[in-house]
Structures are given as C-alpha cells and as structure tokens.
C-alpha cells in the first residue's frame, strides 16, 4: 500500500517539497481519473495539517459538481460564478480567502470553515474543475499553498481524459 510520508514537524514549504514527488508517484502507475483524484485528495488531507477539507469539483453541464474529497459532507452542486469555487472557475484564477465571512457569496458547506483556497484545473484555457481546500483557522492559506497547489492542479490537468486502463 502507498504511504504518504512527511515529517510532522516540517513547515509548509518543507511539507510540499516532500509531498509533491510522492503525489506524482502516487498517480504514475494508474490511469483511472477518479482513482487518482481520490488518492490525491486523501494524500493532501493527510499531509496538510492546516486543511480541514480537501477535494475536487468538476464542471458538468455548466456547473460544478463535487468529486473525490476528504472531509465533511459538502455541497453537491455549485453554479459557475457562485461562491469561492464558482468564482475561481468562472475567472480561471486561484482565490485565497483569509476569512470566508468577508467573501461575498461564500457558500458555507461546513460551518467550521474559516479560510479557503480554490485553484482552477484547466486545459487549453477551458476550466475542467477546481481543487478546493478549507481550513478551520483564519488565514491558513498563502502564496506557498498557491504555488504548490497550482502544481497539483497541473498534475491533475495531465490526467484529464485518462481511462481506466493500467499504464
Ligand atoms: N466554500 C465553497 C463551497 C465548497 S466547500 O467549501 C467544500 C465556496 O464558497 O465555493
């Protein structure tokens, strides 16, 4: 079984430095998209102590539908342009929210969520979905998360269209 290993005392930069190669390795032997997205959400949740919810929303018929995630039950569908996820998808840009109460239209899936980061997953300029992380503390996400989670989004972008065959 794959193990995700990061030092519990490592700071955020070090956690991502150790984690990213492991995420690449985690998906390298498997081409099933849902399997890989599921394990990526689990690995991120396991490795990032500041994240209370980690998961994907994917575009389906013009709206975001929840995909593989780790955390409490979440909103199933989010319209494009609504909430942090729908705004990040509509504008194809990463959004960091230090205090969710201050983001107009933020959607409360989990009342404990205090801050959030949403990174779009896009191919050829077309948004395919988003990677969403919540935290139970204010101001948990910063440019370190942005840079590294955008790398995770790139990894996912490379998996779009993969089939259920083993590589
Ligand atoms: N807070 C998000 C909704 C998704 S959950 O956080 C899992 C939003 O405003 O889009």
Domains and CATH numbers, the chain: 12-166 (3.30.450.40)
Percentage of the residues of the chain whose pLDDT score is greater than 70: 93
**Phi/psi of residue 77, nearest 5 degrees:** -125, 140
Which among 69, 100, 134, 136 is the best mutation to test ligand 1's pocket, defined by most ligand atoms within 8 Å of the CB?
134
pLDDT at position 3 over 60: yes
The set of protein residues with a Cβ atom below 6 angstroms from ligand 1 is 53, 74-75, 78, 83-86, 106-107, 109, 113, 116, 132, 134
Long-range pairs for 155-158 at CB < 8 Å and ≥24 separation?
155/23, 155/24, 155/27, 155/40, 156/36, 156/37, 156/40, 156/56, 156/121, 156/129, 156/131, 157/121, 157/122, 157/123, 157/128
Give Cβ neighbours of residue 163 (< 8 Å, ≥ 6 apart). 31, 32
Give Cβ neighbours of residue 93 (< 8 Å, ≥ 6 apart). 120
User: Quick one: tokens of 9?
Assistant: 């005392």
> Which is more confident, 1 or 83?
83
> What is the model's pTM?
0.94
| pLDDT value, residue 14 | 95
CB atoms within 10 A of CB 148: 21
Average pLDDT over residues 24-42: 95
The residue contributing the CA closest to ligand 1 atom 6 is: 109
**Phi/psi of residue 105, nearest 5 degrees:** 85, 5
The residue contributing the CA closest to ligand 1 atom 4 is: 109
């Amino acid at each position: 079984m794959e193990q995700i290993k990061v030092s519990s005392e490592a700071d955020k930069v070090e956690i991502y430095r150790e984690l990213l190669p492991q995420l690449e390795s985690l998906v390298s032997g498997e081409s099933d998209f849902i399997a890989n997205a599921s394990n990526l959400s689990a690995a991120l949740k396991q490795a990032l102590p500041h994240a209370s919810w980690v998961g994907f929303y994917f575009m389906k018929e013009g709206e975001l539908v929840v995909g593989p995630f780790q955390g409490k039950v979440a909103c199933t569908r989010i319209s494009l342009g609504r909430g942090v996820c729908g705004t990040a998808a509509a504008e194809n840009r990463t959004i960091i929210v230090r205090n969710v109460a201050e983001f107009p239209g933020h959607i409360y899936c989990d009342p404990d969520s205090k801050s959030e980061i949403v990174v779009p997953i896009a191919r050829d300029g077309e948004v395919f979905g988003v990677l969403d992380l919540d935290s139970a503390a204010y101001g948990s996400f910063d440019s370190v998360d942005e840079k590294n989670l955008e790398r995770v989004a790139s990894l996912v972008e490379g998996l779009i269209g993969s089939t259920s065959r083993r590589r």
